[in-house]
Amino acid sequence: MSIADTPIESINEATLKMLIADEVDEQLRIEYKAELKYTTNDDKKELLRDVSSFANTAGGDIFFGISETKGKPVPIDGLAVADADKLTSTLEQMVRDGLEPRLSGHQVGFIRLESGKYVIVIRIPRSYAAPHRVAFQSTPQFWARRTNGKYFLDVSELRNAFLLSETAAEKIRGFRADRVSKLLAGQGPVILDKGPKLIFHLIPLDAFQTGRFVDLNSIKDQERSLGAIGWEHVGRGPNHVRFNLDGFLVSHARGGDPKQGLACCQWFRNGIVESFSSLWYKTEKMRLLWNVFEDSLPKSVKRFLDVQEQLRVQPPIVALLTVCDVRNFTMVIEGSYHEIRGDIDPIDRDHLLVPEVMIESYESDLQTVLRPMIDAVWNAAGYAESAVQKSK
């Protein structure tokens, strides 16, 4: 396993010694620095140039406390660290506030050595919000990396970087559009009954990177954690699981036919999660049950993220919600003022393509992150905001 594939919390002194024994050169995704300088303004600018150059290229690791000779690491010196938590906070704030647009998903790790000193690693993801510029002290600089270090982006390279960023967003939205079209046309792994449906995607920003695969075999026995939104507590959980060309499929099949069902969840081998489920509703009143959006959705997203973290999927992760076949349905809280008066207009379109939101880390507050998405569904149902949140 390469250092890039090793979780930052699993890197130890033995891992670092292997870098030296194998003479792993400084390269596109690795850099060694004997010292960590961050106190003066010039130090901060240099650190931000290094971080942004990784984010604007392919991501990677910067190791502080390891010297190098002609690009090769030499025996580890380490750094004296008085307060690791305080230094972590300082570095994270410096990176967060010193780059525009803000960089998300970066990590700071401390590897304790037998000597009592530390090697500090800053792991930077490849960013699809790139290019990031050094904004500290109004320094409008864009940097990228080659195998022999960082370099300043010229005008044509900067133009290409912006085009690449737009392409990444287009790929994510294009994936959603393609999958929604296929699922509704009955070309997905499971055909659902007629009626309202919920399609939800979690797409890591690096999902379309060539050669990006996760070990789905490691989660195959966790069916109850892998099921679709709104159906996690139905019966004994999913009743059909299998590997397929896309990855691993978990479904609530109907009548023993794996192609006919009520819900399914496709776990793609590149780390994407797709939940496709029939929505609970009251037939006689064509009324959607709000509980799916306010309760099941956040809980299920947390459940999905826990598994993605287990699969070592790297945030940020884009969340996309699509609600289908809901024209003329309403969403009302039972016993509410609006139910008594009957003054809520029905949804005015077949499909709701809710704007995406970004989950920047596994520690993100999902209630806050997903709130604009949930409120958008209430907006589509004629409300200015969530009727549930307003009533609290």
Locate the domains of the chain by residue range: 3-153, 167-391
What sign has the CA pseudo-torsion 59, 133, 35, 148? positive
Residue numbers in the chain where pLDDT is lower than 50: 336-337, 340-341
Distance CA 150, CA 124 (A): 14
End-to-end CA distance of the chain: 50
pLDDT of residue 165: 66
Distance CA 93, CA 131 (A): 19
Contact 310, 273 (CB under 8 A): no
pTM of the predicted structure, to 2 decimals: 0.67
Instruction: Check residue 77 and report its DSSP letter.
Output: -
CA dihedral 146, 148, 152, 156 (to 10 degrees): -40
For the chain, give the longest Cα–Cα distance.
Answer: 78
Contact 154, 113 (CB under 8 A): no
Alpha helix (H) ranges present in 22-154? Answer: 41-55, 84-98
CA dihedral 248, 252, 254, 258 (to 10 degrees): 0
Distance CA 234, CA 232 (A): 6
pLDDT of residue 337: 46
Distance CA 386, CA 142 (A): 41
pLDDT of residue 293: 93
Contact 373, 354 (CB under 8 A): yes
Distance CA 371, CA 124 (A): 28
Q: Answer whether CATH 3.30.950.30 is correct for domain 3-153.
A: yes
Going by DSSP bridges, is the β-strand pair 281-282/240-243 parallel, antiparallel, or unpaired? Answer: unpaired
- At residue 277, the 3 state secondary structure works out as strand
Distance CA 54, CA 190 (A): 41
Distance CA 120, CA 108 (A): 7
Distance CA 304, CA 229 (A): 10
